[in-house]
Structure 1
Amino acid sequence: MSFINDQEIILTESELRSIIGYPSEIVQQKSISHLDEHCRDYIAKSPFLFISTSNASGKCDVSPRGDAAGFVHVVDDHYLVIPERRGNKRMDSLCNILSNPEVGLIFLIPGLGETLRVNGRAFITKDSELLKSMAVNQIIPTVGIVVAVEECFLHCAKAFKRSGLWELETRIEKEKLPSASKILSAHIKLEGITSEVIAANLEEGYAKRLY
């Protein structure tokens, strides 16, 4: 990286702490090891989460999951289940979990700046009895991600306030938004796979293959 001065790269936590400092006692004490009633309430009202995973060699991935609020099933204080809906079958998160069970989750509630972070160890289940309660339109998920919760804490709203994510005035006009079909066409580079073809495929998938 020719644009980076090697002498300015931080290599140790002690150097980093000397610049950033240490968390307050309140921050240090906010983490709990189970899903209490407040975490359960947050998850019940959340329609969206991000799941971070990595494989055995440390290659990382972050993937979104979303459905109607409360789509994540809380089994008890220590376990939750994320239904795996229909996707493109890359299965990045699932394959990573098979080689490295450590996962991180961030739950969001639209309009709320504070997010709920949950860390733990995951495994994949095909237990139809467990997954039956998460059916939509009578379609039972084929598999689900079970997370054994190890850490939970609330993350402050500073990122949302700085970004104005939930503010209407920060939204880009629809016609100026990036075009998913044009981006995919440019990246795929296959003969006949035009942005128009991709746009049609996307619309069909959204209409017929959500579940």
Structure 2
Amino acid sequence: MTASPFKAIIQSEEELRLLNSPPSELVRNKVITRLDSHCREFISKSPLLFLSTSDAEGGCDVSPRGDAPGFVYILDDTRLVIPERPGNRRYDSLLNILQNPSAGLIFIIPGLEETLRINGKACITADPELMEKMSAQGKIPQIGIGVEVEECYIHCAKAFKRSKLWDPEQWPKREKLPNPAAIIADHVRGLKVTEEQVARSLAESYEKRLY
């Protein structure tokens, strides 16, 4: 076994549980196994979710999916579909799903500090009837990610409260934000691509290939 670069490693649930008191009865019982009216409303108002997947060896990936509120199509109490809009074509999440169907979702609504978490089994569907229902900007997606719901529950607001994510007063000034084009150009230095070229490529993709 490779030695860990960290110290004081917790190696069992027993050790972990000794650090704190048990979760409350409310927390232990808040998980449901279907999309009730509350979950459906939350999903219908969410323009952004994060999708977590892993491959057969446990290699993990988390990826955002976003569009107008209600972009996720709910089939029934246990099934939903996420349209696969044009992206970078790496297919990290999709390739993981082909190896391991287990997936986790976190739905976010701007201004709301609580989130909705859903865990279940995912698949890739090209069902033409479903794809047509998720058309946007006159474009029909080629495929979607179907999820069979196994668990869903509200996640508390503490992370959002600590980060003050929705408080504009806490947002950094635009000129002080990291420059994505500069970062990418530096990361692909061997390709001899300039920051300006990357910036133009990103701008063109955002303008012409959102749908």
Shorter-chain-normalised TM-score: which range? over 0.9
Matching of residues 19-30 of structure 1 within 5 Å: 19-30=19-30
* 1:97 Cα deviation from its structure 2 partner: 0.3
Aligned in 2, Cα 1:135/1:20: closer, same or farther, shift over 3 Å?
A: same
Is the contact between residue 43 and residue 70 of structure 1 (CA under 8 Å) also seen in structure 2?
Answer: yes
Query: 1:100 and 2:100 equivalent?
Result: yes
Q: Deviations over 1:23-82 (max 9, x none)?
A: 110001100000000000000000000000000000000000000000000100000000
Q: Output the CA distance in 1 between the equivalents of 2:66 and 2:183.
A: 22
Higher mean C-alpha displacement, 75-84 vs 17-26 = 17-26
Q: Number of matched residues?
A: 209
Aligned counterpart, 2:159: 159
Q: Output the CA distance in 2 between the equivalents of 1:2 and 1:15.
A: 18
Q: Which amino acid aligns with 1:4?
A: F
Is the contact between residue 115 and residue 155 of structure 1 (CA under 8 Å) also seen in structure 2?
Answer: yes
Is the contact between residue 83 and residue 134 of structure 1 (CA under 8 Å) also seen in structure 2?
Answer: yes
* 1:137 Cα deviation from its structure 2 partner: 1.8
Q: Which amino acid aligns with 1:63?
A: S
Structure 1's consecutive aligned runs of 4 or more residues displaced over 6 angstroms after TM superposition are none
Q: Output the CA distance in 2 between the equivalents of 1:80 and 1:17.
A: 34
**What is the DSSP-based 3-state SS (H/G/I as helix, E as strand, rest coil) of the residue aligned with 2:18?**
helix
**What is the DSSP-based 3-state SS (H/G/I as helix, E as strand, rest coil) of the residue aligned with 2:76?**
coil
**What is the DSSP-based 3-state SS (H/G/I as helix, E as strand, rest coil) of the residue aligned with 1:150?**
strand
* 1:2 Cα deviation from its structure 2 partner: 8.2
**What is the DSSP-based 3-state SS (H/G/I as helix, E as strand, rest coil) of the residue aligned with 1:19?**
coil
Q: Output the CA distance in 1 between the equivalents of 2:5 and 2:149.
A: 41
| Structure 1 stretches lacking a partner, 5+ long | none
Question: Percentage identity across aligned positions?
Answer: 56
Aligned counterpart, 1:113: 113
Matching of residues 1-211 of structure 1 within 5 Å: 4-5=6-7, 8-211=8-211
Normalised to the residue count of structure 1, the TM-score between the two structures is 0.96
Is the contact between residue 54 and residue 61 of structure 1 (CA under 8 Å) also seen in structure 2?
Answer: yes
Aligned in 2, Cα 1:80/1:2: closer, same or farther, shift over 3 Å?
A: closer
* 1:18 Cα deviation from its structure 2 partner: 0.7
| Structure 2 stretches lacking a partner, 5+ long | none
